[in-house]
């Protein structure tokens, strides 16, 4: 019950544990039985004076005491009160009262003497819960108009949970803050707590709080240090590296033996924010570390340059749209200016082609990384057992069904080769995965690739071609020792032609190309090939950035394991996924094949945004009861990320699941792959779902063939 009354200034005592100065380096927590000690009260006053009291004192003299906000107190003993809210005002009144008692002629301005004997206060009778009083302060200095520093606010929020066991929901509602702000505070304090325990812990100052909050607010940084939802940091190596960047370090001069201090690499919240842009660019990080300069690392970062280039290109695109709106005003003079600009663009393009000659490990360029029509036609002239194989009725979801050995996997591989154009690395990796090899053997590949490959298609109305041929190199300058053969890729997308090649030697191979370009983002999922951990890490990082990781985890919790809390990629000991379960943490490989397959497939959608995903035998490893919900989830991801799906199956339950989930059925194309034994080739029949199910049940080819 709230009580409002008045009391004498001598009955009020300053709070020595006030959150205004809890971050002061001289602060020591004071127990309740020492609150009334004169020395403690003087220290409390000194702390408050450091924060600034002069303006408030002048205000009292000018305006008198205006009880706009009643003093909030906590009764400690009979008629003795600890100030919970209003310490600064009481400190000024105590100071002026002491002066007046010593010298009655002291100037109090408009301050009425009666206020010292009848100060309005409010308190709650029989409330012993300390958390209640913290909430009172929080409402004024976190949610209210008289805010403390961000770090002091954060300490109060976290202490309500740590020291008083208040739940997340209760803190959020009590302090009237958003859930997002609450989580931001918890993340920042978690990193600060770890920092204080580190070798640099004595360097922490409350002014650094904004740096920690900015770092933990960035998804890329959280992923890099592996900060989970329980505020635990799992990647200790990256965490310690981060602490090294935000701290001053001592180094010894090898010649003189003198110890000198180097400034922090990251000293502002702006630098902390920009760190997220280069955190996955190791060369930039190394440059930053070696020079102890964030600016130098940022300046050489490929990520930053690409972002800047993309912004410049976007600006040019927007300006061209504006110019087009004034096309009726373009005369001969302006045409000449446009021609000059066009020539400059051509020179830039030509310069880029020349530069690409020597780039061996460049990141692939993508022709189309935006919403488009996707593949509308695929023609496999020759690939393994597929010959003159044409598919025209393509949709967002394309299902290819057939019995074993009908060529379903070959179809997906052909599509993968087609959209990856002249990517020689992709071609070699596809062969390695299909053969389940840890490392591709040139002797094996030389014997495996016997026939030429020719693939055609149409993507977003643009024709594309890929031709792959093996041939013996006849060049006189070629080193013939251990030489086996050469594989050449010739590709085209519209008018642009591309080529690449690899020379196979008994113990190595050599790759050659001017540039590598792919049609669109794409990803391939197969239960029969070895998972590439670099790819899985890439998929995971993109799932975080595209904000679909939580969607994936929610699906798993709802349909497979409600006690699962989180799944994180970690490199602490080995590169692997760790599952944070309700009662334990364990490697993802310890869970069932179905959960793993669902997780990996869903992750790969992030890498296929605005492109193509290829899923071989979707049902493999999945329990039939999951098929309806998972097919629905696949369709949702396809829409959210604009992904065209190609999947194979020999399970009628999978077809039924896509039909019975009743989600955007018009987006699905059903295709039956059958082998015509008379002609010794595979053909495709565009089918209804009913016919497809019937044929799979009977395991026979379509009648009349």
DSSP characters over 671-687: EEEEEETTTTEEEEEEE
Distance CA 570, CA 572 (A): 6
pLDDT for the residue numbered 25: 64
pLDDT for the residue numbered 21: 63
**Reported pTM:** 0.51
pLDDT for the residue numbered 522: 93
pLDDT for the residue numbered 149: 64
Structure tokens belonging to residue 106: 């002291």
List phi, psi (to 5°) of 19. -70, -5
- State the CB neighbour count (10 A cutoff) for residue 584: 9
Distance CA 130, CA 537 (A): 46
Residue pair 81/11 in contact by the 8 Å Cβ criterion: yes
Residues near 452 by beta carbon (within 8 Å), at least 6 away in sequence: 382, 467, 468, 469, 470
Distance CA 412, CA 389 (A): 13
Secondary structure of 538-598 in HEC code, one letter for each residue: HHHHHHHHCCCHHHHHHHHHHHCCCCEEEEEEECCCCCEEEEEECCCEEEHHHCCHHHHHH
DSSP characters over 206-217: GGGHHHHHHHHH
* Run of H or E including 411: helix 408-419
Structure tokens belonging to residue 288: 């930053």
Distance CA 308, CA 314 (A): 10
For the chain, domains (ranges, CATH) are 2-128 (3.90.1530), 178-303 (no CATH), 312-353 (no CATH), 525-698 (3.40.50.300)
Residue pair 566/585 in contact by the 8 Å Cβ criterion: no
Q: Which residues pair with 504 in a beta bridge?
A: 485, 509
Q: Which portions of the chain are predicted below pLDDT 70?
A: 1-2, 19-26, 67-69, 124-149, 163, 174-176, 349-364, 473-479, 509, 529-532, 572-573, 688-689, 692-693, 695-705
Task: Please compute, for residue 407, the number of CA atoms within 13 A of its CA located in the half-sphere on the CB side.
Answer: 22
Distance CA 464, CA 310 (A): 25
Distance CA 522, CA 610 (A): 9
Residue pair 553/229 in contact by the 8 Å Cβ criterion: no
Task: Please compute, for residue 620, the number of CA atoms within 13 A of its CA located in the half-sphere on the CB side.
Answer: 16
Strand, helix or coil for residue 502: strand
Closest CA to 567 of 527, 533, 542, 596: 596
CA 289 to chain centre: 24
Place of tokens 């009580």: 3
Place of tokens 């000059």: 340
Residue pair 255/210 in contact by the 8 Å Cβ criterion: no
Residues near 288 by beta carbon (within 8 Å), at least 6 away in sequence: 245, 265, 278, 294, 296, 297, 298
Place of tokens 């396809």: 638
Residue pair 530/438 in contact by the 8 Å Cβ criterion: yes
Secondary structure of 49-101 in HEC code, one letter for each residue: HHHCCHHHHHHHHHHCCCCCCCEEEEEEECCEEEEEECHHHHHHHHHHHHHHH
Residue pair 451/471 in contact by the 8 Å Cβ criterion: no
Distance CA 395, CA 596 (A): 27
Residue pair 71/89 in contact by the 8 Å Cβ criterion: yes
Structure tokens belonging to residue 377: 């036609």
Structure tokens belonging to residue 170: 């209760």
């Amino acid at each position: 019950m709230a009580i409002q009354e008045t009391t004498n200034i001598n009955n009020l005592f300053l709070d020595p544990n006030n959150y205004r100065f809890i971050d002061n380096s001289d602060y020591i927590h004071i127990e309740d039985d020492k609150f009334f000690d004169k020395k403690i009260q003087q220290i409390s006053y000194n702390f408050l004076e450091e924060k600034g009291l002069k303006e408030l004192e002048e205000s009292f003299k000018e305006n008198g005491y205006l009880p706009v906000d009643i003093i909030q107190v906590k009764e400690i003993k009979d008629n003795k009160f600890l100030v919970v809210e209003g310490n600064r005002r009481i400190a000024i009144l105590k100071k002026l009262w002491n002066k007046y008692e010593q010298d009655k002629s002291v100037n109090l301005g408009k301050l009425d003497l009666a206020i010292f004997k009848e100060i309005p206060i409010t308190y709650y009778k029989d409330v012993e819960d300390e958390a209640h009083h913290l909430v009172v302060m929080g409402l004024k200095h976190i949610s209210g108009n008289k805010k403390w520093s961000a770090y002091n606010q954060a300490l109060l929020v976290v202490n309500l949970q740590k020291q008083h066991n208040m739940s997340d929901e209760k803190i959020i509602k009590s302090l009237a803050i958003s859930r997002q702000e609450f989580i931001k505070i918890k993340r920042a304090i978690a990193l600060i707590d770890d920092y204080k325990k580190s070798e640099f812990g004595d360097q922490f100052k409350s002014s650094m709080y904004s740096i920690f909050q900015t770092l933990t607010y960035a998804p890329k940084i959280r992923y890099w240090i592996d900060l989970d939802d329980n505020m635990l940091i799992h990647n200790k190596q990256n965490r310690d590296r981060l602490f090294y960047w935000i701290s001053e370090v001592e180094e010894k001069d090898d010649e003189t033996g003198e110890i000198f201090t180097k400034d922090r690499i990251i000293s502002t919240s702006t630098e902390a924010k920009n760190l997220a842009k280069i955190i996955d660019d190791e060369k930039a990080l190394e440059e930053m570390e070696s020079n102890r300069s964030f600016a130098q690392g940022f300046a050489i970062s490929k990520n930053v340059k690409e972002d800047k280039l993309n912004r410049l290109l976007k600006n040019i695109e927007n300006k061209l749209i504006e110019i087009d709106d004034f096309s009726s005003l373009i005369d001969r003079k302006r045409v000449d200016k446009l021609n000059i600009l066009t020539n400059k663009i051509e020179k830039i393009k030509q310069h880029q082609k020349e530069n690409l000659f020597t780039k061996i490990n460049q990141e692939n360029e993508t022709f189309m990384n935006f919403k488009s029509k996707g593949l509308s036609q695929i023609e496999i002239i020759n690939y393994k057992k597929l010959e003159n194989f044409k598919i025209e009725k393509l949709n967002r979801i394309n299902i290819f069904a057939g019995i074993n050995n009908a060529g379903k996997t070959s179809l997906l591989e052909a599509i993968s080769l087609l959209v990856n154009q002249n990517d020689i690395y992709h071609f070699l990796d596809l062969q390695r995965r299909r053969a389940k090899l840890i490392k591709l053997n040139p002797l094996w590949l030389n014997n495996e690739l016997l026939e030429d490959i020719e693939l055609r298609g149409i993507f977003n109305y643009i024709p594309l071609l890929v031709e792959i041929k093996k041939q013996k190199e006849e060049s006189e300058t070629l080193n013939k020792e251990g030489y086996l053969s050469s594989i050449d890729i010739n590709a085209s997308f519209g008018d642009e032609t591309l080529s690449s090649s690899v020379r196979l030697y008994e113990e190595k191979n050599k790759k050659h190309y001017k540039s590598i370009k792919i049609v669109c983002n794409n990803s391939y999922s197969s239960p029969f090939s070895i998972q590439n951990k670099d790819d899985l890490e890439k998929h995971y990082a993109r799932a975080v950035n595209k904000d679909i990781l939580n969607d994936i985890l929610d699906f798993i919790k709802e349909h497979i394991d409600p006690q699962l809390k989180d799944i994180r990629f970690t490199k602490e000991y080995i590169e692997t996924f760790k599952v944070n379960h309700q009662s334990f943490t364990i490697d993802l490989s310890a869970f069932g094949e179905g959960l793993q397959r669902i997780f990996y497939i869903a992750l790969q959608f992030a890498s296929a945004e605005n492109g193509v995903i290829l899923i071989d035998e979707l049902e493999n490893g999945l329990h039939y009861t999951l098929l309806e919900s998972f097919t629905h989830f696949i369709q949702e991801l396809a829409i959210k990320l604009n992904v065209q799906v190609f999947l194979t199956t020999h399970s009628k339950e999978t077809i039924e699941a896509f039909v019975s989930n009743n989600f955007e059925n018009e987006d699905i194309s059903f295709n039956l792959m059958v082998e015509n034994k008379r002609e010794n080739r595979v053909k495709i029949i565009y089918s209804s779902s009913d016919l497809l199910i019937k044929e799979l049940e009977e395991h026979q080819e379509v009648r009349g063939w």
